[in-house]
Amino acid sequence: MAREVRRRRTFAIISHPDAGKSTMTEALALHARMISEAGAIHGKAGRKSTVSDWMEMEKARGISVSSTALQFNYTPSGSPAAPPDDPDATYVINLVDTPGHADFSEDTYRVLTAVDAAVMLIDAAKGLEPQTLKLFQVCRHRGIPVITVINKWDRPGQTPLELIDEITERIGLIPTPLLLPVGIAGDFRGLLDRRTGEYVAFTRTAGGAKIAPEEIMDADAASAREGGEWESALEESELLSEMGQDHDQEMFLAGQTSPMIFASAMLNFGVRQLLEALVALAPAPSGRASVSGDVRVPTDPFSAVVFKVQAGMDTSHRDRLAFMRIVSGEFERGMVVTHAQTGKPFATKYAQAVFGRDRSTVDRAYPGDVVGLVNAMTLAPGDSLFTGPKVQFPPIPSFAPEHFSSLRATTADKYKQFRKGMDQLDSEGVVQVLRNDLRGDMAPVLAAVGPMQFEVVTARLKSEFNVDTVIEGLGYSLARRTDEASAAELNRQRGVEVFTRTDGALLALFSDKWRLQFVEKEHPELTLDPLVAAAD
């Protein structure tokens, strides 16, 4: 068990939209030899979509709108980045590709409850962007160590020192580059390995579809080949060392520093170096605190937390997968576990590992692994499963919605499918579904962090349930949690409407913040509690 835990690495890739996140996910899978040829950026004629983006909407728009789990093995090359205690070990990589768009930040937050480390991808030209900052704050709050990758170095952009200074000044995280680029942004020749002083020179492949060949050479050979570009990289490395910006494992795990790598996911430059940094530096699975404050450690009896539910991945079976992150113990397919939220037994007969849209049966899994449970109709994000002594992990909070729309089927004869589809999407957490007696079930109100979530709902209702729908925006902009005692008075107020969310919570919707302030002033006795904001 201890060895299996040591060789697990479970991490998420986070970034602002269009920083190359899905392309990097595919490049990592390519270097682990799980695929023979990488896809490329979506939306370009004749190019494949990435393996991690399986929804038609994702392929058409070139964005990730849903998190995707990928599991693969990786054996380090024996380079200085490989773990010194076991350089020949094969590691099990559990990678979760997250949505980059801010409208899907709730899905990304769920993923970050299930990982031990994060790779923060930054566009070399754009630097830190708003969504990157928000996601980093979530990592800091949860104590998740971060490896920084400056992506798209094959395109014009800022200098390494400019990017390092920006990260230090804006988020207080000290970058400690493991490798520095040789050649300015837009002229990516290779990497200076600061730990060995060697030069890693890359050779491009057609379209970046194959692993880029590497040539390792010593400093003299590098100087002779690259001249001033090599000397500039050496000078930058020496300057960083003088400033104390060399890797320190304890400071990294404490969230004070971030190992940094420069790369081009599109060209597959720097991807192997990232993989080896992950297995060498990212932490293995560790304990997780329960709602009672006790910590469930990996060697304890089996426990897991569900962080995502997804249907529609297999159009031929229309089944539903609940993704669980194993926290402790050994999982065996077919074992009967207890669902903490209901106290009822749950059979795990159909358990699968996921690689994008493809699946394979899982007979055994260990802490850190992500396993999909098929047709887990009773499970929802945040639920806990266990054997032995009872354990329940903290729930995953719902974000405060900021956009509200009503939804109805275009024809009454599709109501049964419409209701089934809405129940499915609600249970997945795609949107929050609100109802009240006045509006009824024929036209539920959808509440979302961002408007693109509504597009996902209508697209999936059409593709998975063959239901055409009409969506209409409502004049509300914020929500507050309330109670039964306050509901009657709130419903009498202009610009206010009270709904019941599927989990039983009562939400009062307000037209704007001034209406909220007026009600709070006139009726201080009413319960109006803020919800968790996406920015928090």
Residues of the binding site for GTP: 97-101
- Reduce the DSSP state of residue 294 to 3 states and report it: coil
How far is the C-alpha of 49 from the C-alpha of 206, rounded, in Å?
17
- Per the annotation, binding residues are 97-101
Around Cβ 140, how many Cβ atoms within 10 Å?
A: 15
- Asked whether 359 and 85 are in contact (CB, 8 A), the reply is no
Query: Quick one: tokens of 121?
Result: 């991808």
Backbone angles phi, psi at 109, to 5 degrees: -60, -40
The contacts of residue 163 (CB under 8 Å, 6+ apart) are: 122, 124, 127, 150, 175
- Asked whether 363 and 414 are in contact (CB, 8 A), the reply is no
How far is the C-alpha of 148 from the C-alpha of 247, rounded, in Å?
12
- Asked whether 9 and 279 are in contact (CB, 8 A), the reply is yes
How far is the C-alpha of 534 from the C-alpha of 524, rounded, in Å?
26
- Asked whether 454 and 471 are in contact (CB, 8 A), the reply is yes
How far is the C-alpha of 526 from the C-alpha of 322, rounded, in Å?
38
- Asked whether 278 and 11 are in contact (CB, 8 A), the reply is yes
Total residue count of the chain as it appears in this document = 536
How far is the C-alpha of 266 from the C-alpha of 110, rounded, in Å?
28
What separation in angstroms does the CA of 159 have from each of 180, 235, 236, 393?
A: 11, 13, 11, 44
Q: Evaluate the CA torsion angle 507, 510, 513, 515 in order and state its sign.
A: negative
How far is the C-alpha of 277 from the C-alpha of 81, rounded, in Å?
6
Strands (E), 263-357: 288-289, 295-296, 303-311, 320-328, 331-332, 336-339, 344-347, 351-355
How far is the C-alpha of 513 from the C-alpha of 493, rounded, in Å?
14
Residue 274: CA atoms inside 13 Å, Cβ hemisphere, count?
Answer: 33
The contacts of residue 443 (CB under 8 Å, 6+ apart) are: 406, 407, 408
